[in-house]
Amino acid sequence: MSLDVTALRQQFPILKTQIDGKPLVYLDNAATTQKPQAVIDALVEFYTTCNANVHRGSHYLSDEATRRYEKARTTVASFIHANAKEEVIWTSGTTESLNIIAHGLAQQLQPGDEVLITEMEHHANLVTWQQACIKTGAKLVVIPINEAGELEVARFEAALNTQTRLVAFPHVSNALGTINPINELTAMAKKVGALVSIDGAQGIAHGGVDVQAIGCDFYSFSGHKLFGPTGIGCLWGRQQVLEDWPVWQTGGEMIADVEYQNTTFGALPNRLEAGTPNIAGAIGMAAAIDWFAALDQHAIQTHEKALLARANELAADMPGMRLIGTAKHKVGIMSFLLDGTHPADIGFILDRQGIAIRTGDNCAQPLMKRLKIPGTARASFSIYNTIEEVEAFFNALKKAQTMLA
């Protein structure tokens, strides 16, 4: 069965937006996805019918809010095939998840230890580890990519040794679209006993994640890139690893027993979740997952591949267009440069035509420096985009090219 994109689009109120009389063409999905009515309704419903604080009330509303909030955790756990719901820690997003891991790691690293990352990192999966290394005297080792934007897997394997404490890589690169062979990389890192942390910000919405099958120790992701609200995300960690992980924020909710001079911390997941959480966000994220998981995953993938294939076809006919990231395995992310133009000017002219793309360094300055480019223009496709929108994007690009010539 093919995806009924017309029906799907009906569920996204924002897609009806007109910009200066032109229909919105939203191609900035790697930055954040739009929200279906089911998610918007879940947020409104929570605040309308059962808003209360969780885990501490002795009244109906609090019990109901707690029930829905914890059910949301179960939804996430089963979506990523976690072993237990206690392995799912609510965070504000991928960035916070990675910071929790880096904060704990910094308490364990010693001079001589090594942390491996890749050349394709988003700043969230780079500055975090870099700062942990600076604090502790550990070494940050950066594994190169090839010209297509694929990780040099042999170099990755060769860099692993008994000093490697943690290996961090993205499931999918936000700047290049590359899908990394995460199972293979994890298996290699496990042979030397390193912890494996996967930045799943871009991977979570593309193709199903099974953390147990991957074999990693941490998988981090954000709700807003999965059709859910902003300000909510998850840190999944293997239970044995999380149980000993150093607490990061302290305060209410994360304790077992408090005295003036000492505190015993609570059990998972609460020990890593201090303070009042983003209750509505968690419920909204679960609504997004329920909505997304009910779609035909095979049809989604086929549709996304068709969008990218059409874009590649049109790009091949576009004079002066240089694609940044041509990996064999990639998602619907097209980063590019147009000869003689600056990405910011392209973005501006496309915006005048109602087409939303991203321009700039894609939060990956070292990668841009490695590629010797100032940044890119980036179109990123999602399940509600159409072939006609891809074509409109290329027509607009041609117009921009003529205007800027």
Distance in angstroms (rounded) separating the CA atoms of residues 314 and 319: 10
133 catalytic? Reply is no
Supply the minimum distance, in Å, between the C-beta of residue 236 and ligand PMP: 15
| Encoded tokens for 9 | 């689009």
* Piece of the chain touching ligand PMP by CB under 6 A; list 53-61, 65-73, 93-101, 151-159: 93-101
* 8 Å CB contact between 163 and 112: yes
Which one, 113 or 273, has the nearer CB to ligand PMP?
273
199 is an interface residue for ligand PMP by CB under 6 A = yes
Rounded to 5 degrees, what are φ and ψ at 48? -80, -35
Q: DSSP string spanning 259-272?
A: -SS-EEE--TTGGG
- Window 136-175: contact mask with ligand PMP (x via CB under 6 A): ----------------------------------x---x-
Question: How far apart, in whole angstroms, are the C-alpha atoms of residue 355 and residue 374?
Answer: 22
- Residue 55 to residue 12: CA distance in whole angstroms: 33
Site mask for ligand PMP (CB under 6 A), range 345-374, x = bound: ------------------x-----------
Binding mask 227-266 for ligand PMP (x = CB under 6 A): ----------------------------------------
Nearer to ligand PMP, 215 or 360 (CB): 360
* 197 contributes a contact to ligand PMP by CB under 6 A: no
| Residues numbered 202-221 forming contacts with ligand PMP, rule: CB under 6 A | 202
| 3-state class (DSSP) for residue 14 | helix
Name the residue nearer to ligand PMP (CB basis): 151 or 314. 151
Candidates 75-83, 199-207, 239-247, 280-288; binding stretch for ligand PMP (CB under 6 A): 199-207
CA dihedral 9, 1, 331, 210 (to 10 degrees): 110
Q: Cis before residue 374, ω within 30 degrees of 0? A: no
- Please, what is the minimum distance in Å from the beta carbon of residue 97 to ligand PMP? 8
Tell me: does residue 201 bind ligand PMP (CB under 6 A).
yes
Scan residues 110-139 and list those touching ligand PMP (CB under 6 A): 122, 124-125
User: What are the tokens at 208?
Assistant: 């199903």
Three-state secondary structure call for residue 83 = coil
Helical H segments across 232-278, by residue range: 239-243
**270: amino acid identity, one letter:** N
Show Cβ contacts of residue 272 under 8 Å, excluding neighbours closer than 6 positions: 89, 100, 235, 242, 245, 247, 248, 254
Q: Is 380 in the site for ligand PMP (CB under 6 A)?
A: no
Using rule CB under 6 A, residue 99 touches ligand PMP? no
**8 A C-beta contact, residue 393 and residue 358:** no
Min CB(98)–ligand PMP separation in Å: 7
Work out how close the CB of 354 gets to ligand PMP at its nearest, in angstroms, rounded to a whole number: 23
Q: Which helix (H) or strand (E) holds 212?
A: helix 211-214
* Catalytic choice (50, 133, 216, 363): 363
- Of 171 and 310, nearer to ligand PMP (C-beta) is 171
Residue numbers of the site for ligand PMP (CB under 6 A)? 93-95, 122, 124-125, 170, 174, 199, 201-202, 222, 363
Q: Which residues are catalytic?
A: 363
